Structure 1
Amino acid sequence: MFIQTQETPNPNSLKFLPGRGVLETGTMDFPSVRSAHGSPIAKRLFRLEGVKGVFLGSDFITITKVDERVDWQILKPEIFAVIMDFFASGQPVITGEPPPADTEVFEDDDETVAMIKELLDTRIRPTVQEDGGDIVFMGFEEGIVRLKMQGSCTSCPSSVVTLKSGVQNMLQFYIPEVLGVEQVQDETDEIAETEFTKFEETLKEKE
């Protein structure tokens, strides 16, 4: 297996392309080891020291490291080994049923929400996934589209710019009802951030 890497806009995230399919459909984000219970490959990757997050796409795996103190030159060979060993084992990438797509249009969605989901799916998400991340639709209330950043986008310095200048402008151009976009976090993100803060404090104590 020949694994290629691709840089992302986030210096702490790197996209790994194993040259084969990873997920059949959609994407999956694992911001912490606690969230990785449904993915054997994510659990293996979290065992590597310095890995903060794992994100799976159709043909790529994005790894986010703890911070700039973790050297990619040291971490990359370890990630290569885990990915190669995993696919050689024949284990499934995901155990159990994957969650439904966030942009699936339901019968009770009004026309505006349906249009937002369609635009996200066809015009916005493919571009973001090229950079090793994703944008998830979390809701639409009082003219504000609530979105969650995943993968390389989670802690990317340019993610706010991406939301405001890219996503918001496109949605407002096609859908006048959209007044703005807002980045949100769910409970898993908050737990992951708490764990990461504790880890950072432990590192500082060792220095």
Structure 2
Amino acid sequence: MSAVSIYAEASPNPESMKFVLNSNLLADGVSVDYPTLEAAANSPLAQELFGFDYVGRVFIAQNFVTVTKNQPELAWTQLIPELRQFLKSYVEAGGPIFLVDPAAEQKAAQAATAGDPTQQEGQIAQKVIDLLDNYVRPAVEQDGGNITFKSYHEGIVTVNLQGSCSGCPSATVTLKSGIENLLKRMVPEVQSVVAEGITV
């Protein structure tokens, strides 16, 4: 394994820090959010990170890991060197990131929750997914998070906010003034956008 370099990048959520690597952890467009240790059963890397008592959430994307701390009184300046060194050593040693490929896992979960939308709702949902993938996700990933489409039903789009977006003070504003306005403009059938994963 070649040397891994990692730098820390602040996110709009003061409790989250994005650690960017010069190597890939996941396929492009796939990401996984672990709000608890129990949720991280598929990721030995995330489980190890939860071993630090100040880690409250772990988000893994193509080439970065976003760590959200659960102790606001701790300063990132104290925590960054320890987390960066841990991630560097773990990845360089070839430690397992996942037990099962998250892309396959997500496809199975989506198929199970897809339900039976009407053909028209299915077409609208596809338009929304394309807009989120092309316009919204790249910007959200820059901030150390992710947005995933959950459902569309009778004019209401439900999305999941993950990583630094979950619990971010500006997430609700971004959702309503940014994402909702974009979707309403591009897909007239959309009336509102609601999010799971915002902890206010």
Which of residues 127, 137, 140 is equivalent to 1:115?
127
- 1:127 offset after TM fit, Å? 0.8
**Counterpart AA for 2:66:** T
SS of residue matched to 2:106: coil
1:1-207 map, 5 Å: 1-25=4-28, 26-98=30-102, 99-100=105-106, 110-185=122-197
- 1:184 offset after TM fit, Å? 2.0
Query: 1-side partners of 2:34 and 2:196: how far apart?
Result: 16
* Residue pair 2:8, 2:80 contacting (<8 A) in 1 also: no
Query: 2-side partners of 1:89 and 1:37: how far apart?
Result: 21
**Counterpart AA for 1:55:** F
**Counterpart AA for 1:15:** K
TM-score by length of 2: 0.86
RMSD in angstroms over aligned alpha carbons? 2.1
- 1:63 offset after TM fit, Å? 0.5
Q: Which moved more, 1:163-172 or 1:176-185?
A: 176-185
Tell me how many residue pairs correspond in the alignment.
186
Return structure 1 stretches of 4+ with deviation > 3 angstroms: 101-104, 106-109
Query: 2-side partners of 1:84 and 1:97: how far apart?
Result: 21
Query: 2-side partners of 1:184 and 1:4: how far apart?
Result: 29
**Counterpart AA for 1:76:** I
Query: 2-side partners of 1:88 and 1:78: how far apart?
Result: 15
Query: 1-side partners of 2:146 and 2:5: how far apart?
Result: 25
* Residue pair 2:158, 2:193 contacting (<8 A) in 1 also: yes
* Residue pair 1:44, 1:82 contacting (<8 A) in 2 also: no
* Residue pair 1:103, 1:117 contacting (<8 A) in 2 also: no
Q: Kindly, what percent of the aligned residue pairs are identical?
A: 34
Structure 1: state its 5+ residue gaps: 194-207
Query: 1-side partners of 2:106 and 2:40: how far apart?
Result: 17
* Residue pair 1:148, 1:184 contacting (<8 A) in 2 also: yes
* Residue pair 1:15, 1:62 contacting (<8 A) in 2 also: yes
- 1:73 offset after TM fit, Å? 1.8
Per-residue Cα deviation, 1:175-206 (whole angstroms, up to 9, x for no partner): 00000101124xxx9xxx8xxxxxxxxxxxxx
* Residue pair 2:7, 2:84 contacting (<8 A) in 1 also: no
Per-residue Cα deviation, 1:106-138 (whole angstroms, up to 9, x for no partner): 896621111011111111111101100011111
TM-score by length of 1: 0.83
